[in-house]
Amino acid sequence: MPTTMAAVDLGASSGRVMAGTLSGGRITLAEAGRFPNGPVEVPTELGPRMHWDVLRLWGDVTRGLRAAAHDVGPLESVGIDTWAVDYALLDAGGELLGNPASYRCPRTVGLAEKYFHVVPAEEMYRRVGVQVQPFNTIFQLLAETPGRLSLARRLLLMPDLLGHWLTGRSVTEVTNASTTGLLDPVTRAWHPDMLQSLTDECGRDVAGLLGELVEPGTILGPVRAPDLGLTTPSGMPTPVVAVGSHDTASAVVAVPAQRDDFAYISCGTWSLVGLELHAPVLSAEALGANLTNELGVDGTVRFLKNVMGLWVFNEAVRTWRTRRMDLDVPGLVREAATREPLRTVIDIDDPAFFPAGDMPARIGEAARLTGQPQPRDPAETARCIFDSLALAYRRSLRQAADVAGRDIGVVHMVGGGVQNELLCQLTADATGLPVVAGPVEATALGNIVLQARAIGAVRGGLPELRRIVRASSELLTYSPAAGAEATWRGVERRLF
Ligand code: LFR
């Protein structure tokens, strides 16, 4: 009997609702809704503030779920994943206290450094093992106004908020909780010392705001949102499953690996580059390399680095379009492939590339500062971005492998970015490793396959789930060009 489920997958630049039907050991995906997303900027007395339009997203999500049930059939379950770290605050009546802030909001500037006077960075890393990013939830909480915090009774991360609206239950799913900077990756529970120090800094009991932690695969309960009318084929209200609710955790479930020595790159707005481990690495070396220990499904650890990702390219395209340049993105990528390799290579992880803005100008400046030629047109700029991303992938993978004491035999690239063939080939060349590209819809597949297991439609651990993903996907393999790795080694030495 085919089993139909729906995955809600929200990214920072777009969201989708996918219906997934499991039949004969394969999942077929059908898009039931796709909608844009992005931070909304408003001016305030304190400077610009960036928020998510979560009510509009809720409308898009519920419309997509209705469409999935209407177009594909009754849903056996629903799972939700989104980007990490961001949250909503609810008051005593369960009402939203304003729109959730976006992680790109400048309100957190300088707060990490301030906090390290209270808990030194080394100590924090030993406790929670996360890559220091200005937007980790802990630093966002330090940016909250006392007024808002005093009214708040509950903090829900984005997927947990949508799950709460659908079911009435308030939980915190651990894969996403591990990005907050408050979770102990060894015990997979809140770190009491982190909660205490945050409580001291905020002047408000933070522990009381946090929902019960649940592992991915937990069934939250039936959809009770009015008017949705979601039912299973037997007429029962459709249950919501807490999947790997951090989108990257769901994407990693869907890495179609067949051997143990694999690394992955989840390519979207961000590129998440790393390894799957069975225990966190909390050493000084891991901190030095700014690697993060996010939690994965089935007790795993996602030992990875956030690389700035296709964000830089997408923002460059946005900048060119505001200048009324008529650009076709696939055409631009094709043209970039014909341009001089490694003409200009920059440190794509430089914080200068984090805020929205004129990326071509920032790239030109980075080239100038490092004594390299400035890209002269969009194709050269695009080539510089892709070369620089591939170099960052190489560096991050080598650092992760060295620090974890592991060898890498194959790199899996998953997510929308794998449609960029140039980037896949550059990654194979830069790493000197075979790259297996696909699936494009890794996050939705990882979300759905976990639901399938939670409701008893499939059995087994990650290898079995990955077998289903493999059977459901088209994969392409890219081999490194002979001698390329040595060239990239030289570029890395020159730049870092
Ligand atoms: C990717 C992602 C990353 C996280 C960033 C911000 O979509 O979830 O894993 O670091 O967005 O939340």
For ligand 1, whether the C-beta of 247 sits within 6 Å is: yes
What whole-number percentage of the chain has pLDDT above 70? Answer: 100
Ligand 1 atom index nearest CA of 247:
8
The three-state (H, E, C) secondary structure of 406-457, written as one string: CCCCEEEEECHHHHCHHHHHHHHHHHCCCEEECCCCHHHHHHHHHHHHHCCC
In which element (H, E) is residue 91 found?
none
Instruction: Identify whether 184 is a catalytic site residue.
Output: no
Only one residue has tokens 């799972």, namely: 79
Q: Please spell the DSSP secondary structure of 229-264, one letter per residue.
A: --B-TTSSBPEEEE---BHHHHHHHT----SSSEEE
Ligand 1 atom index nearest CA of 84:
12
Distance CA 496, CA 494 (A): 6
| pLDDT band (50, 70, 90) for residue 1 | confident
For ligand 1, whether the C-beta of 140 sits within 6 Å is: no
**For residue 471, how far is its CA from the centre of ligand 1 (angstroms)?**
27
DSSP lists the bridge partners of residue 44 as 47
Cβ atoms within 10 Å, residue 273: 28
- DSSP state, residue 136: S
pLDDT at 324 (0 to 100): 82
Answer yes or no: is pLDDT of 68 > 90. Answer: yes
**For residue 89, how far is its CA from the centre of ligand 1 (angstroms)?**
20
Nearest one of 183, 12, 167, 2 to 81, comparing CA atoms: 12
| pLDDT band (50, 70, 90) for residue 227 | confident
| pLDDT band (50, 70, 90) for residue 366 | very high
CATH 3.30.420.40 at 246-438+475-496, yes or no: yes
**CATH topology classification for 3-242:** Nucleotidyltransferase; domain 5 (3.30.420)
Only one residue has tokens 């992938």, namely: 393
Helix, strand counts (H, E) of the chain: 18, 21
Distance of CA 48 to the CA centre of its chain: 24
| pLDDT band (50, 70, 90) for residue 229 | confident
pLDDT at 138 (0 to 100): 98
Q: Which of 81, 138, 175, 248 to mutate to test the pocket of ligand 1 (most atoms within 8 A of CB)?
A: 248
For ligand 1, whether the C-beta of 103 sits within 6 Å is: yes
pLDDT at 288 (0 to 100): 96
The answer to whether residues 450 and 216 touch, using CB atoms and an 8 Å cutoff, is yes
| pLDDT band (50, 70, 90) for residue 225 | confident
Q: Going by CA atoms, what residue is nearest to atom 7 of ligand 1?
A: 83
pLDDT (mean) for 210-226 = 93
pLDDT (mean) for 39-67 = 96
The answer to whether residues 175 and 297 touch, using CB atoms and an 8 Å cutoff, is yes
Q: Tokens at residue 438, please? A: 């696909």
Give the SS3 label for residue 9. strand
**For residue 103, how far is its CA from the centre of ligand 1 (angstroms)?**
9
**Max CA-CA distance within the chain?**
67
Answer yes or no: is pLDDT of 21 > 90. Answer: yes
pLDDT (mean) for 179-199 = 98
Distance CA 333, CA 323 (A): 19
Q: Which residue of the set 60, 247, 349, 387 is catalytic?
A: 247
For ligand 1, whether the C-beta of 83 sits within 6 Å is: yes
The pairing of beta strand 189-190 with beta strand 183-184:
antiparallel
pLDDT at 452 (0 to 100): 98
| pLDDT band (50, 70, 90) for residue 148 | very high
The residue ranges of every structural domain in the chain are 3-242, 246-438+475-496
Cβ atoms within 10 Å, residue 277: 17
- The model's pLDDT over 389-411, given as tens digits with 9 standing for 90+, comes to 999 999 999 999 999 999 999 99
| Burial of 224 (C-beta count, 10 Å sphere; 0-12/13-18/19+) | middle
pLDDT at 310 (0 to 100): 97
Answer yes or no: is pLDDT of 232 > 90. Answer: yes
Q: What is the mean pLDDT of the chain?
A: 97
Question: Model-level pTM?
Answer: 0.98
The pairing of beta strand 3-10 with beta strand 14-23:
antiparallel
**For residue 85, how far is its CA from the centre of ligand 1 (angstroms)?**
8
Asked whether the domain spanning 246-438+475-496 has the same topology as the one spanning 3-242, the reply is: yes
pLDDT at 326 (0 to 100): 82
- The model's pLDDT over 264-307, given as tens digits with 9 standing for 90+, comes to 999 999 999 999 999 999 999 999 999 999 999 999 999 999 99
| pLDDT band (50, 70, 90) for residue 211 | confident
For ligand 1, whether the C-beta of 220 sits within 6 Å is: no
Q: What is the end-to-end Cα distance of the chain in Å, rounded?
A: 55
**For residue 354, how far is its CA from the centre of ligand 1 (angstroms)?**
13
For ligand 1, whether the C-beta of 266 sits within 6 Å is: no
pLDDT (mean) for 480-485 = 96
Distance CA 223, CA 360 (A): 46
Nearest one of 356, 456, 395, 397 to 77, comparing CA atoms: 456
The answer to whether residues 481 and 55 touch, using CB atoms and an 8 Å cutoff, is no
In which element (H, E) is residue 121 found?
helix 121-128
Q: Going by CA atoms, what residue is nearest to atom 11 of ligand 1?
A: 83
* Residue 39 exposure: Cα atoms within 13 Å on the Cβ side: 18
pLDDT (mean) for 110-127 = 97
What whole-number percentage of the chain has pLDDT above 90? Answer: 96
